Amino acid sequence: MAEASSTTFNEEFRKVIGPLGVQLDRVDTSAQFDVGTSARDHRGGEYLYLLGVASNVQFAWVSYQIAGDLTAAIALATTTTVDLRDPVGISCSAFTATEYGWVQIRGLTYGRYLTSMAKTGTVQSTATGGCMDDANTTSVYGAVCHETEPGTGTDSLKTTISYPMAGIAL
């Protein structure tokens, strides 16, 4: 079965191999898994189950933190939040501050970028929550954008991530 859309998380695109019951694009109003639970898909993708953040949208970049007691807090990734050097991931759905959902931390996915992001350009933070670009701000290492945003506005572009983290501000 073909993908319904290039930017969706349907069963064929992301066949989860564990744990049982994971639906990557589902938004939960109460926790269905322990916060910090890890899931994997058949393409090598890895995900974390986290509490959401206000104004979150599907494919938004988020920074997160998992403490020793497995409580997690996430924020839409901006230059300010990634400068804290917390890990970064991409939201699989639009789960907000009182909801739970999955954040991808490894594998092929889609991420939100601002106007004119260049294919294979260095992924950089922006002042716009949840969006990256290739402007000279703080580099996000472990992320590669595989498409070019044609200059029409914010887009979700094919991206590969491998435990992305912020680097040194330029």
Residue 46 and residue 125 share a domain:
no
Note down the domain range covering 24: 16-105
Q: Are residues 86 and 131 in the same domain?
A: no
State residue 110's pLDDT score. 92
Q: Is residue 101 part of a domain?
A: yes
Q: What distances in angstroms separate CA 149 from CA 32, 52, 141, 145, 146, one per listed residue?
A: 36, 27, 20, 10, 10
Is 164 found in the same domain as 119?
Answer: yes
Residue 9 lies in a domain: no
Same domain, 134 and 85: no
pLDDT digits 0-9 by tens, 135-145: 878 889 999 99
Task: Place 170 in a pLDDT band, splitting at 50, 70 and 90.
Answer: very low
Q: Which tens digits make up the pLDDT trace of 57-68?
A: 999 999 888 776
Is residue 3 included in any domain, yes or no? no
- 75 pLDDT band (50/70/90 cuts)? confident
CB 114 within 8 A of CB 132: yes
Does residue 101 sit in the same domain as residue 126? no
Lowest mean pLDDT among 1-15, 31-45, 147-161: 1-15
130 lies in a domain? Answer: yes
Same domain for 74 and 28: yes
**Are residues 119 and 100 both part of a single domain?**
no
Residue carrying the six token digits 């106007």: 115
Q: What is the pLDDT of residue 28?
A: 95
What distance in Å separates the CA atoms of residue 169 and residue 95, rounded to the nearest whole number?
29
- Token pair listed for 52: 């959401």
90, 105, 120 - which closes a domain: 105
pTM of the predicted model over 0.75: yes
In this predicted structure, the answer to whether residue 104 has a pLDDT above a threshold of 70 is yes
What's the mean per-residue pLDDT of the chain?
83
Token pair recorded at residue 161: 């991530």
For residues 76 and 26, membership in a common domain is answered with: yes
In a domain, 147, yes or no: yes
**CA separation for the pair 167, 170 (Å, rounded):** 9
Rounded mean pLDDT, 85-89: 85
For residue 4, tell me if it sits in a domain. Answer: no
Residue 10 belongs to a domain: no
Residues 92, 69, single domain; the answer is yes
Share of the chain above pLDDT 70, in %: 85
pLDDT at 69: 56
**Do residues 95 and 82 both lie within one domain?**
yes
Q: What average pLDDT score do residues 14-21 get?
A: 81
Instruction: Quote the number of domains for the chain.
Output: 2
Residues 153 and 74 in one domain: no
Question: Are residue 74 and residue 91 in the same domain, yes or no?
Answer: yes
Answer yes or no: is 8 within a domain. no
